[in-house]
Amino acid sequence: MSDCCAPSAKNGNGRYDLIVVGAGSAGFSAAITAAEQGAQVALIGHGTIGGTCVNVGCVPSKALIRAAEAVHHANAAPRFAGIAAQARVADWGAQVAQKDALVAGLRQAKYADLLPSYNNIAYNEGRARLVDGVVEAGGKRFAADRIIIATGTRPALPAIPGITDISILDSTTALELTALPRSMIVLGGGYIGAELAQTFARVGVEVTLVFRSRLLPEAEPEIGAALAGYLADEGIKVVGGLTYESIRRTEDGVALTVVRDGHLETLAAERVLVATGRAPNTESLGLEQAGIARTPVGAIVVDDRMRTSKAGVYAAGDVTGKDQFVYMAAYGAKLAAKNALNGNSLRYDNSAMPAVVFTDPQVGSVGLTETQARAAGHNVRTSVLSLDNVPRALAARDTRGLIKLVADGDTRKLLGAHILAPEGADSIQTATMAIRGGLTIDDLAETIFPYLTTVEGLKLAAQTFDRDVKKLSCCAG
């Protein structure tokens, strides 16, 4: 990385103001935030610069998801009368190469090329370890009164007998396949499993999606159930409510044995993709010796100021196990840097955190679910609006989805919004701003929305608390 590194930047006494361990989204956010305040920063990276999101996560997965959508939407064109179209994958390797070029370009532009712009950030490579109050990496020692750990996560293996004896795919290696398998079992009903299962199914792979409980277990039950149905409509075999018994190699690929409804069942496929969770990269950091507490799964414990259990050491991003979205990693890291340099006055706040699942329909969510709102003591009211009440969906000939709003029955304050819609991701930010601003469902119902947009569904869902929107004319109310 010698072509991308800033000159060594440190104080005259050989100490830095801040050491940031990890050169992904969180690490860069912390380093840039500190540098902009005039601090001398040592940024220590290990592996490919840029971390998970740009290299093996958000960017490559969403690129391939869009490609698969192009195939699906062409084949779904006959829903419009008189329209005929068809698409297929002619060369998946070419699509992967295009994705790789996008990743390489963004990694260079948004990470490597940024470093020369900050003369007070010294970039160094090496596996970091906290030793005697300093950080060792690449055969060097770095000293500072404040340290931020942002080392991220990696795909984790579930404890299924036999899984270490087979060649599995994970969310990283699945995106590197240049040739598509005939069939695939996807383990995990979270957002990664759901996204990748649909993507591979849409490009011609026979997919079985399996999970322990229900699809998208953190989402509203109505949304998970509806999405499971839509995936099944596309030919995906969706199997939930099970436990994993074992997995083994076969002549044709792999065989997964599960227990469902008290009975053993074996599922077979050419490949298996494991998307059951991620593990924090903390093993080699020397955290135990440094007195830094971790959770049972190895994530670094932090308080609402991003402080660890050791004074002067902070952590941010996925390595903390909190809100594993790249924008929250960057937000938490920025907070950690400001607190480290300016006295710990800022609190981490995820009360208006939007989350998106890039399935089709997309899932957008912000604020409390109905269950969370009840647990918090609210007198809860909800409205659920099916998409066949939204003119945009009718015009698009695609009424898959629903909108669920959660409100306090006493104050009528909007507490949560949950959208399942083909264009739901771009609508959730309106609800995010409403929750951040403390708006009520009346505020939302009385706001002017543009007609024939998906986001207009939020207004209709707010009106649904007190009236039947089927009895309203277009744009009425």
Residue whose token pair is 């160094």? 124
- Residue 32 annotated as lining a ligand binding site: no
- Residue 62 annotated as lining a ligand binding site: yes
Question: Could you tell me which residues come within 8 angstroms of residue 47 by beta carbon, excluding any fewer than 6 positions away?
Answer: none
- Domain range enclosing 31: 18-50+111-155+279-342
Is the residue at 121 inside a domain? yes
- Residue 195 annotated as lining a ligand binding site: yes
- Average predicted confidence (pLDDT) for the chain: 95
Count of the separate structural domains present in the chain:
3
Q: Of 275, 298, 332, at which residue does a domain stop?
A: 275
- Residue 410 annotated as lining a ligand binding site: no
Do residues 338 and 346 lie in contact, with contact meaning Cβ atoms separated by under 8 Å? yes
pTM: 0.94
Is the residue at 325 inside a domain? yes
The pLDDT value recorded for residue 476 is: 63
Query: What is the crossing angle of helices 456-463 and 428-436, to 10°?
Result: 60
Region 361-369: mean pLDDT is: 98
Name the percent of the chain lying above pLDDT 70.
Answer: 97
Query: Are 315 and 386 members of one domain?
Result: no
Strands of 108-260, DSSP E = 121-125, 129-131, 134-137, 140-142, 147-149, 153-155, 169-170, 183-187, 206-210, 237-239, 242-250, 253-260
3-state SS assignment for residue 278: strand
- Residue 192 annotated as lining a ligand binding site: yes
Question: Could you tell me which residues come within 8 angstroms of residue 284 by beta carbon, excluding any fewer than 6 positions away?
Answer: 127, 129
Q: What is the pLDDT of residues 75-123, one digit of tens each?
A: 999 999 999 999 999 999 999 999 999 999 999 999 999 999 999 999 9
Do residues 203 and 92 lie in contact, with contact meaning Cβ atoms separated by under 8 Å? yes
Query: Are 144 and 283 members of one domain?
Result: yes
Question: Could you tell me which residues come within 8 angstroms of residue 117 by beta carbon, excluding any fewer than 6 positions away?
Answer: none
Region 7-17: mean pLDDT is: 62
Query: Are 151 and 33 members of one domain?
Result: yes
Residue 1: band (very low, low, confident or very high) from pLDDT cuts 50, 70, 90: very low
- Residue 90 annotated as lining a ligand binding site: no
pLDDT higher than 70, residue 477: no
- Residue 189 annotated as lining a ligand binding site: yes
Q: Of 275, 308, 326, at which residue does a domain stop?
A: 275
pLDDT higher than 50, residue 388: yes
Residue whose token pair is 């744009």? 475
Query: Are 244 and 122 members of one domain?
Result: no
Residue whose token pair is 């010698």? 2
